[in-house]
Amino acid sequence: MAAAQASGDPRAVRAGPIVHDALGSRDPLGARSTCQLLPERPGVYRFRDLRGVSMYVGRATNLRSRTSSYWGSLKGRAHLRRMVPQISALEAIECASVHEAAWLERNILERGLLRWNRARGGQEVPVWLVLDPEPRSPGLRLTHGPGTEGITIGPYLGADRARLIRSGILRVWPIAATGTGLTGSERDMAAARGVGPEDRDSFAAAIQDALAGRSAEVDQWRAGLAAARDRASAGLAFELAGQIMSEMEAIGWATGVQRVTALERIDADVHGWSEGVLVSLQIRAGRMERWRQALVNTEPRRKVDRTPEQWRGFAAANARLAASLLGR
C-alpha cells in the first residue's frame, strides 16, 4: 500500500515496489520520543494519526525543540491539546533556512487545509522587491506581485520583514538619491551624503549582490547598518537605533537559502531513498507543494536518477532523516 497524500487524503497512490505504508505505520519509538531524533535545524514537520492520515503541518526554526513543545504547556491552545493525544507518527523535512521552511509549510497547506491547521497557507503575505535602475528616478519598491519592469527579486514571505530588508538596503545604498530627476533640495541632500548619479550603477549591482547573499556585499550591508546604528545611539536617537537593529536582524532571513518557491515556473519531481524509505516531493510552477513518504523494498533508481541534480543532496538527506525517524 502506498503513501497517503500530504493533503491528508487517506487514499493510496501507487509509488513503486511498496512493501507497506510508512505513513500509516506506528512510530516504534512513540512520536514524543521521536522528536529527540530531529536536528536542531529549521524545517517542516507533519503529525499523523493512527490511521496514517495527516493531522497537522507546521514549521520550525528548531525542529527538535518545536515538536517537543507539543508535549509541554499548550496553555491557551485548546485545539492543540485535543490533537496531541491522537498523534501516532511524526515526519519532518529539514530545510536550509527559516525562510525556506516558512515557504514549504505555506505551499503544502495551500494544497489542502489539514484538520488541525487553521489557515490555508499561513498568515504571511508573499511579496517581491523590484529594483528599478532607470536613470531619472531609480528605486527599490515592495510589490505584491512580480514586477513587469525592472529587476524582480524574491519572493519573500512576510511583508513586515520585507519592509525591513528594503529600508536596510536603502540605508546603505540610497539608490533613489542617484536619480537625475531630483529636485534642487533633493540634490543638495544627496550631495551632503556624498551620493550622485555616478553611483547609480554600483548601487544597483551591490543591492542585487547583497540580496543574492554574496558574502562581500552582505558584509558591507551589515557593516553599513552597524555604523548607522552606532551613529543613532551616539546621537541619543534610540528609537532609530532600534529600527536599524531590526533591519540588521532581517539580513539573515533575507539571505538564507530559499529554494522551494521560485520565480521560474519549473516542474520537477524530487526523490530520495534511504534504508527502505522513499521521500518524494513535487515541484509545480516553481513551488514545492506535495510531500509523500513510503516504505519501498528496493531503491527506485529511475525515480532517484530523474531527480534534478540541484535537489539530490536535499532529497537524500531528508530520506536519511525519514529512515532514522522510523527507527531504520
3-state class percentages of the chain: helix first, strand second, coil last, to nearest 5: 45, 20, 35
Q: Range with the lowest mean pLDDT among 113-122, 187-196, 212-221? A: 113-122
d(CA 166, CA 211): 10
Q: Which of 275, 303, 272 is nearest to 15 (CA)?
A: 303
Q: Name, in order, each residue with C-beta under 8 angstroms of 144's C-beta and a sequence gap of 6 or more.
A: 125, 126, 127, 128
Please state the φ and ψ torsions of residue 68, each to the nearest 5 degrees. Answer: -60, -30
Count of alpha carbons within 13 angstroms of residue 75, beta-carbon side? 1
Give the residue with greater pLDDT, 77 vs 158: 158
Write down the pLDDT at residue 27. 46
The structural domains of the chain, ordered by start, are 18-96+264-325 (3.40.1440.10), 126-255 (no CATH)
pLDDT digit string (tens) for 116-133? Answer: 988 777 678 999 999 999
- The separation between CA 11 and the C-alpha centre of its own chain, rounded to angstroms, equals 29
Q: What is the H or E stretch that residue 88 is in?
A: none
Distance CA 103, CA 216 (A): 27
Confidence of residue 81 (pLDDT cuts 50, 70, 90): confident
pLDDT score at 29 = 52
Write out pLDDT tens, residues 161-180.
Answer: 999 999 999 999 999 999 99
**Reported confidence tier of residue 32, pLDDT bands at 50, 70, 90:** confident
Higher pLDDT, 327 or 5: 327
Alpha helices in the chain (DSSP H): 31-34, 63-68, 78-83, 98-111, 159-172, 184-192, 200-211, 215-234, 238-255, 301-306, 309-325
Read off the pLDDT of residues 297-306 as tens digits, 9 standing for 90 and up: 899 999 999 9
pTM: 0.85
* Share above pLDDT 70 across residues of the chain, in percent, rounded to a whole number: 90
Distance CA 302, CA 304 (A): 6
Q: Find residue 139's DSSP bridge partners.
A: 132
Tens digit of pLDDT for each residue in 3-28? 333 333 333 333 333 333 444 444 44
Position 242 scores a pLDDT of 97
Inter-residue contact 110 to 149 (CB < 8 Å): no
Average pLDDT along the chain: 89
Cα 173 from chain centroid (whole Å)? 26
- Summarised one tens digit per residue, pLDDT across range 57-69 is 999 999 999 999 9
Residue pair 118/78 in contact (Cβ under 8 Å)? The answer is no
